[in-house]
Amino acid sequence: MKCVTWIILVGILTFSHCDQIEENTPATNTVTVYLSKRPDFPEVGYVGSIESLPGIEPVASFKGVPYANPPIDDLRYKPPVAFEETEVRNATEFAEACLQWDLFRNQNVTGSEDCLHLNVYVLREILSRPRDSSLVPVMVFFHGVGFVACQSDTYNPEYLVQKGVAVVTVQYRLGSLGFLSTGDKLQPGNMGMLDQVEALRWVKKNIRSFGGDPDRIIIFGESAGAVAVTLHLMSPLTKGLFQAAIVQSGTAIAPYAIQRSPMTHVQRLAANLGCLSGSTETLLKCIMTADPIEVVTKDASSQANTSERKSSRSHKKPPNPGPTVQLEAAEGWPVFLQEDPEAALAEGHFHKVPIVIGVNRDESASAVLSNLLPRLINATESDSTYAERVFLRKVLRASGIVNNTEVAKTSIKFEYFKNYNMSEILELKDEFITLHSDFSVVAPVYRTAMYLSQRTPVYFYTFEYEGELSFSEYLLQPSELREPRLHKRQVPPEELEFDQIDNNDTSIPSIPTGEIELPLDDRRHVIHGEELLYLFRFRNPSTRAVVDVEDDEGMIVRETMCTLWTNVAKYGLPTPTDVERNSFPLEEWKMFSTIAPHTYKITSKTTLLTAYRHRKMLFWTSFIPTIQAMELCS
C-alpha cells in the first residue's frame, strides 16, 4: 500500500493518508492534537484516527480520552478527581465500558472501573485550520438506559459532525458504583452525575485544541441521559458550562428519575451481599469493601426470592440506583442537586438557556407488548378485575396520585378505556400502550416543557417517523425481517406480582423457553429511543454491529434530525430564518408556551402543530392536579 504523509504547518496537527482503501472498509489514519503547552510537559495531547465513510467528509475521532482518575480504591464511591494529562496519548481505541451488568448479551458483568473517558469527534478539515480560527459549536451527549447500563461507543456521531460541529460522547459510573447513597452526608451519592460535570469541565477547558468553541457548548441526552440533562439545568455546579440543551424522552420529574428512598436500596443491596444487619455505617462499610463485581452482580438481582415475596407483599424490588437530592452538605462532596426537581422547575431555579424537548409517538410500546401485556393476560385468566384493580393502582402510585384515588382511578379508566372491560387485554393493547407512555414519559416531559417555557425559550417536538430500521420487539432488525404477527414470551408464575414491574426497565426483555402467544397488528410503533437511529450510526448493543439508515426516506429523516439538532448548537434555535436553509424544506419551528403549545411533528416531512394531543395533556397537567387539590382542600 502506497502512503503519503502531509505535515500541516500550524504546529498542532500531523496525519498520514493511504491512497488505497479496501472496498467497503473505512479508511483509517492518524491525527495528533496537542493541548495547550505547559513548561513541565511540552508535548501533551492525543493521537486520534481519521475515518472516511462513503459519501461524507473524513472525521477525526479521539477515543478513550480520560477526564478523571480511575475511581478505584480510595476513590471508589467518591466524587471524581480531574485527570491531568502528562503525555501524548494514543486515542485510537474506545475505552472499556463502565462496570455494569450486560443487559443485552450474555447477562453477566462487563466493563471496567477505569472507565471515566470521553470521545471527541470533529471534521478533519476543522483541525487543519489555524488555531482559534472559526471554532465550531460543541455537542456533548449523555447516554441513557436507566443509569445502570450502556457505553459511549454505542453512539457514532459522524452525521452530526458533517454539519460543522464537534461532538463529545461521555461515559460515567453506573448503578451503585455511580449512585450509592444514604440520602444524607454519610454518603450523599450522585457520583455518576459528578462524573458528567467533570467531563463538561474537561470539554470547557480543552475543546479549543480540537477546534471546538468553549463558549458554544450544548448538552443533549436520551432517556436517563435526558434526565441527566434536566438535572444539569438545575445544578449549581454546571452554571456557565453549556449554552443550550436538548432533552429526548426523559425528565427529572418522571416517576423513575430520582431515588426517593435511597436507604431502601442500601439495605437491599447489603442484604444481597450477605452483610449483617446493623447501623447505616456498618451496612455502608460492608458494601464499600465488597468486590465491585459482586456489587454489580447483586445490583442486578432485581427481585427478592420467592419465599420472601410470598411472606411479605411489601418486600418489593427497590428502585434502580440513580440521582438523589442532597439535603445536607458534606465535606469534600460538591452539592449537585439541592432541591426537588419539580420544585426547582416551578420556582425557576434552572439555567435559562434555549431548550429543545420532546417525545416519541409510542414511547412504551416495546415494554408493554413484551412485558406488561403477557403478565396481565396470565393474571386476568383467574381474576378478570386484575388489570383495572392492580394496573391502575400502579399508575396512580407511579404518577404520585395519593389523594382522592378512587376518583382519579375512575377518571383514568374512562379517559383511556371508556366503558370497555379492561380484561379484554388484546383488544385494548393500543390503549395500554398510550396510557403507559403518557404517565411514565410523555406527560412528565410535557409538564417539564410547560415549566421551562415560562422562563426560557422552549421548542417541543414529537418524533413519529415509522422507519425501516426500528427499535422494535426484535431489536434493530429491519422491519420487513421481523415476525410481527406473534410475540412469544414465557411468564413464570412468580413474575405475576405486578408490583414488581419496574417503570425504569429499559432493557430488552429476555425471551425464555415456553411461550404466551400475543398476536400483534401490523402497526409499526415509534418507540423509546427510535430517534437515535437518525442522529447516530448506532451500535446494536446485542450484536455490537453498527447499523445505519440506507433507504432514501430514512436518509431524509436523518438529514432533518441532524440539521435541526445542530442548528440549536449553532444558532440557539432549530430553524433559524436568517441563515441559508437546507436543500429540502423545513417547516418553521415556533416556540412552545402554555398559551400557544406549538409542537414540531417529525416524520418523513416536518409539520408544525398548534398543540400536542391537547385533551390528554390537559388531563394530566390540569384535571388530575385539580382532583388532588380538591382532596387537599376538603
Tens digits of residue pLDDT in 579-588: 665 555 688 9
Highest mean pLDDT among 384-393, 418-427, 555-564: 555-564
Residue 289 confidence class, pLDDT cut points 50, 70, 90 = very high
**Which contacts of 376-383 are long-range, i.e. CB under 8 A and separated by 24 or more positions?**
376/425, 376/432, 376/498, 377/425, 377/426, 377/516, 377/518, 378/491, 378/496, 378/516, 379/496, 379/498, 380/423, 380/425
What single letter denotes the amino acid at residue 30?
T
User: pLDDT at position 402, please?
Assistant: 83
Average pLDDT over residues 219-231: 98
Highest mean pLDDT among 24-38, 204-218, 405-419, 468-482: 204-218
- Exposure of 634 by Cβ count < 10 A (0-12 exposed, 13-18 middle, 19+ buried)? exposed
Instruction: List residues bridging with 217 in a β-sheet.
Output: 138
Q: How far apart are CA 266 and CA 84, in angstroms?
A: 33
User: pLDDT at position 42, please?
Assistant: 66
Helices and strands (H and E) in the chain: how many: 20, 22
Question: pTM, whole model, 2 decimals?
Answer: 0.88
Question: Is the pLDDT reported for residue 77 higher than 60?
Answer: yes
Q: Return the higher-pLDDT residue of 474 and 33.
A: 33
Average pLDDT over residues 114-142: 93
Any idea what DSSP says for residue 186?
A: T
- Distance from the Cα of residue 394 to its chain's centroid: 24
Residue 225 near residue 248 (C-beta atoms within 8 A): yes
Place of cell 476513590: 75
Average pLDDT over residues 45-56: 93
Average pLDDT over residues 389-418: 90
Q: 436: left (phi > 0), else alpha (psi -120 to 50), else beta? A: alpha
Largest Cα span, the chain: 84
User: pLDDT at position 326, please?
Assistant: 92
Tens digits of residue pLDDT in 139-186: 999 999 999 999 999 999 999 999 999 999 999 999 999 999 999 999
Question: Is the pLDDT reported for residue 25 higher than 70?
Answer: no
What SS3 state is found at 313? coil
Q: How far apart are CA 176 and CA 192, in angstroms?
A: 9
Per-residue burial over 149-178, b if 16 or more Cβ lie within 10 Å, else e, is: bbbbbbbbbbbbbbbbbbbbbbbbbbbbbb
User: pLDDT at position 133, please?
Assistant: 76
Tens digits of residue pLDDT in 463-504: 999 988 887 644 434 433 333 333 333 333 333 333 333 433
Cell of 342: 419539580
Cell of 497: 406480582
Instruction: Identify the weakest region by mean pLDDT among 75-79, 200-204, 469-473.
Output: 469-473
Tens digits of residue pLDDT in 240-287: 999 999 999 999 999 889 998 999 999 999 999 999 888 999 999 999
Residue 423 near residue 380 (C-beta atoms within 8 A): yes
Average pLDDT over residues 385-413: 89
Tens digits of residue pLDDT in 360-372: 999 999 889 888 8
Tens digits of residue pLDDT in 417-457: 998 888 888 889 999 999 999 999 999 999 999 999 999 99
Q: Return the higher-pLDDT residue of 509 and 519.
A: 519
Percentage of the residues of the chain whose pLDDT score is greater than 70: 82
Rg (CA), the chain: 25
Question: Is the pLDDT reported for residue 3 higher than 60?
Answer: no
Residue 122 confidence class, pLDDT cut points 50, 70, 90 = very high
User: pLDDT at position 582, please?
Assistant: 52
Q: For 148-277, where are the E strands, in sequence order?
A: 155-156, 166-170, 212-222, 244-248
User: pLDDT at position 38, please?
Assistant: 58
What SS3 state is found at 121? strand
User: pLDDT at position 381, please?
Assistant: 85
Percentage of the residues of the chain whose pLDDT score is greater than 90: 63
Q: Return the higher-pLDDT residue of 219 and 28.
A: 219
Tens digits of residue pLDDT in 309-354: 333 333 334 457 899 999 888 999 999 999 999 999 999 999 999 9
Cell of 349: 431555579
Q: Beta strand pairing status for 117-123 and 166-170?
A: antiparallel
Nearest to 212 by CA among 132, 92, 158: 132
Question: Is the pLDDT reported for residue 513 higher than 70?
Answer: no
